[in-house]
Amino acid sequence: MSWLHATSELTHPSFHSASRSAHVLKLAFLTVFVLVFFYFSSILFLDRVLVLGLAASHSQTAIQSGSREPQPGNPHPNPVDQNEGLPSSPTLTAENVPQYFQTTPELWAGPTATGRAPFLAQTNPVSFMPDATYVPNNPLETAAPIMGQNQNESIFHLMGNLSPYFPNAEGFGVAEYPLPEGANISQVQMLSRHGSRYPTTGSNVARLGAKIAAAKQAGTFKASGLYSFLNDWTYALGAEILVPRGRQELFESGILHYYQYAQLYNPNSKIIVRTTTQDRMLKSAEYFMAGFFGLEWTNNATIEVIIESPGFNNSLAGYYGCKNARLGVNRGGENASVEWMSTYLEDATTRFKSHIEGIEWTVFDTYAAQTMCPYETVAYGYSVFCNLFNYSEWESFGYSLDLTFAGSSAFQSPTGRAIGLGYLQETIARMENHTLGYSGSQINTTLDSSTETFPLNQTLYFDFSHDTNIMSILTAFGLTQFSQFLPATNFPGPHNLTVAHLEPFGARLDIEIIKTPSPLDKDRKYKKGKPATYVHFVLNQRTVPLGWSFDECGRDRLDGWCEFDTLLKALKKEVKKAKFDYACDGSYPAEEYGKITDGAPLD
Ligand SMILES: *[C@@H]1O[C@H](CO)[C@@H](O)[C@H](O)[C@H]1NC(C)=O
Ligand SMILES: *[C@@H]1O[C@H](CO)[C@@H](O)[C@H](O)[C@H]1NC(C)=O
Ligand SMILES: *[C@@H]1O[C@H](CO)[C@@H](O)[C@H](O)[C@H]1NC(C)=O
Ligand SMILES: *[C@@H]1O[C@H](CO)[C@@H](O)[C@H](O)[C@H]1NC(C)=O
Ligand SMILES: *[C@@H]1O[C@H](CO)[C@@H](O)[C@H](O)[C@H]1NC(C)=O
Ligand SMILES: *[C@@H]1O[C@H](CO)[C@@H](O)[C@H](O)[C@H]1NC(C)=O
Ligand SMILES: *[C@@H]1O[C@H](CO)[C@@H](O)[C@H](O)[C@H]1NC(C)=O
Ligand SMILES: *[C@@H]1O[C@H](CO)[C@@H](O)[C@H](O)[C@H]1NC(C)=O
Ligand SMILES: *[C@@H]1O[C@H](CO)[C@@H](O)[C@H](O)[C@H]1NC(C)=O
Ligand SMILES: *[C@@H]1O[C@H](CO)[C@@H](O)[C@H](O)[C@H]1NC(C)=O
pLDDT tens profile 251-280: 999 999 999 999 999 999 999 999 999 999
The answer, yes or no, to whether any atom of ligand 10 lies below 6 A from the CB of 516, is yes
Contacts of residue 46, defined as CB under 8 A and 6 or more positions apart, other chains included, come to 77, 79
| Crossing angle for the helix pair 279-293 and 244-261, to the nearest 10 degrees | 40
* Best residue for ligand 8 mutational test, from 186, 457, 533 (most atoms within 8 Å of Cβ): 457
The answer, yes or no, to whether any atom of ligand 10 lies below 6 A from the CB of 531, is yes
Beta bridge partners of 533: 515
Atom 11 in ligand 7: which residue has the minimum CA distance? 444
- 181 CA from centroid of ligand 10 (Å): 10
The answer, yes or no, to whether any atom of ligand 4 lies below 6 A from the CB of 451, is no
Contacts of residue 94, defined as CB under 8 A and 6 or more positions apart, other chains included, come to 12, 15, 16, 24, 28, 102, 104, 105
Query: What pLDDT does 247 receive?
Result: 98
* pLDDT reading at 367 higher than 80: yes
Query: What pLDDT does 93 receive?
Result: 54
Q: Which 3 state secondary structure label does DSSP give 523? A: coil
**Distance (Å) of CA 355 to CA 226, 231, 243:** 8, 11, 32
Report the nearest atom of ligand 1 relative to the CA of 392: 1
Beta bridge partners of 242: 197
Distance of CA 351 to the CA centre of its chain: 33
How confident is the model over 361-385, as a mean pLDDT? 98
Strands 532-539 and 562-563: antiparallel
Pocket of ligand 3 (CB under 6 A): 265, 267, 293, 299-300
Q: Which of 31-35, 167-171, 571-575 has the lowest mean pLDDT?
A: 31-35
* pLDDT reading at 10 higher than 70: no
The answer, yes or no, to whether any atom of ligand 7 lies below 6 A from the CB of 313, is yes
Strands 184-193 and 460-465: parallel
Q: Which of 50-64, 239-253, 356-370, 432-446 has the lowest mean pLDDT?
A: 50-64
- 83 CA from centroid of ligand 9 (Å): 49
The helices-and-strands tally (H runs, E runs) of the chain is 18, 10
Is the bond preceding residue 70 a cis peptide, omega within 30 degrees?
Answer: yes
The answer, yes or no, to whether any atom of ligand 2 lies below 6 A from the CB of 151, is no
- Kindly state the DSSP code that residue 549 receives in the 8-state scheme: T
- Distance CA(545)–CA(174), nearest Å, equals 7
Confidence grade of residue 90 (pLDDT, cut at 50, 70, 90): very low
Question: What residue type is 3 in one-letter code?
Answer: W
Quickly count: other Cβ atoms within 10 Å of residue 143's Cβ: 18
- Distance CA(307)–CA(276), nearest Å, equals 6
Query: What pLDDT does 596 receive?
Result: 98
**pLDDT over 70, % of the chain:** 84
Query: What pLDDT does 29 receive?
Result: 53
The answer, yes or no, to whether any atom of ligand 2 lies below 6 A from the CB of 150, is yes
Report the nearest atom of ligand 6 relative to the CA of 330: 13
Report the nearest atom of ligand 1 relative to the CA of 348: 5
- Distance CA(385)–CA(126), nearest Å, equals 14
* pLDDT reading at 62 higher than 80: no
- Kindly state the DSSP code that residue 558 receives in the 8-state scheme: T
Query: What pLDDT does 385 receive?
Result: 98
How confident is the model over 399-408, as a mean pLDDT? 98
* pLDDT reading at 33 higher than 70: no
* pLDDT reading at 363 higher than 60: yes
How confident is the model over 150-177, as a mean pLDDT? 97
- Distance CA(48)–CA(177), nearest Å, equals 53
Query: What pLDDT does 26 receive?
Result: 52
- b/e string for 213-232 if b means 16 or more Cβ within 10 A? eebbeeeebbbeeebeebee
Quickly count: other Cβ atoms within 10 Å of residue 590's Cβ: 16
Burial, 267: exposed, middle or buried (Cβ in 10 Å; 0-12, 13-18, 19+)? Answer: exposed
How confident is the model over 386-396, as a mean pLDDT? 98
Q: Long-range contacts made by residues 140-144, C-beta under 8 angstroms, separation at least 24?
A: 140/164, 140/245, 140/377, 140/378, 140/381, 140/382, 141/377, 141/381, 141/382, 142/377, 144/382, 144/386, 144/387
Confidence grade of residue 69 (pLDDT, cut at 50, 70, 90): low
Confidence grade of residue 569 (pLDDT, cut at 50, 70, 90): very high
* pLDDT reading at 391 higher than 50: yes
Atom 13 in ligand 8: which residue has the minimum CA distance? 433
* pLDDT reading at 70 higher than 70: no
Confidence grade of residue 519 (pLDDT, cut at 50, 70, 90): very high
Confidence grade of residue 129 (pLDDT, cut at 50, 70, 90): confident
The answer, yes or no, to whether any atom of ligand 5 lies below 6 A from the CB of 108, is no
Q: Are 287 and 195 in contact (CB under 8 A)?
A: yes
Report the nearest atom of ligand 10 relative to the CA of 516: 13
Q: Are 7 and 294 in contact (CB under 8 A)?
A: no
- Distance CA(149)–CA(440), nearest Å, equals 49
Question: Which pLDDT tens digit goes with each residue over 277-301?
Answer: 999 999 999 999 999 999 999 999 9
Query: What pLDDT does 45 receive?
Result: 32
- 465 CA from centroid of ligand 7 (Å): 19
Query: What pLDDT does 577 receive?
Result: 98
- b/e string for 11-41 if b means 16 or more Cβ within 10 A? bbeebbeeeebeebeeebeebbeebeeebee
Phi/psi region, residue 220 (left: phi>0; alpha: psi -120 to 50; beta: rest), is alpha
The answer, yes or no, to whether any atom of ligand 5 lies below 6 A from the CB of 450, is no
Phi/psi region, residue 493 (left: phi>0; alpha: psi -120 to 50; beta: rest), is left
Indicate if the alpha-carbon torsion angle 290, 293, 295, 296 is positive or negative. Answer: negative
- 483 CA from centroid of ligand 8 (Å): 35
- Distance CA(251)–CA(195), nearest Å, equals 9
Query: What pLDDT does 201 receive?
Result: 86
Quickly count: other Cβ atoms within 10 Å of residue 151's Cβ: 5
- 320 CA from centroid of ligand 7 (Å): 11
Torsions phi, psi for 305 (to 5 deg): -110, 110
Query: What pLDDT does 371 receive?
Result: 98
How confident is the model over 341-369, as a mean pLDDT? 98
> Could you please report the per-residue DSSP string of 190-239?
EEEE---BPPPTT-HHHHHHHHHHHHHHTT--EE-GGGGGGGT-------
Atom 2 in ligand 7: which residue has the minimum CA distance? 442
Report the nearest atom of ligand 10 relative to the CA of 186: 14
Strands 460-465 and 301-306: unpaired
Query: What pLDDT does 4 receive?
Result: 28
The answer, yes or no, to whether any atom of ligand 7 lies below 6 A from the CB of 324, is no
Query: What pLDDT does 6 receive?
Result: 28
How confident is the model over 490-502, as a mean pLDDT? 97
Within 433-466, where are the H helices?
A: 445-448
- Distance CA(245)–CA(235), nearest Å, equals 19
Query: What pLDDT does 44 receive?
Result: 33
> Could you please report the per-residue DSSP string of 105-139?
S-SS-------PPP-HHHH------TTSPP---SS
How confident is the model over 548-560, as a mean pLDDT? 97
- Distance CA(527)–CA(519), nearest Å, equals 5
Q: What's the pTM value of the predicted model, to 2 decimals? A: 0.88
Pocket of ligand 6 (CB under 6 A): 60, 328-329, 331-332, 335, 590-593
**Mean pLDDT of all residues belonging to the chain:** 87
Query: What pLDDT does 127 receive?
Result: 84
How confident is the model over 448-465, as a mean pLDDT? 98
Confidence grade of residue 46 (pLDDT, cut at 50, 70, 90): very low
**pLDDT over 90, % of the chain:** 80
Q: Which of 38-52, 203-217, 412-426, 577-591 has the lowest mean pLDDT?
A: 38-52
The answer, yes or no, to whether any atom of ligand 7 lies below 6 A from the CB of 439, is yes
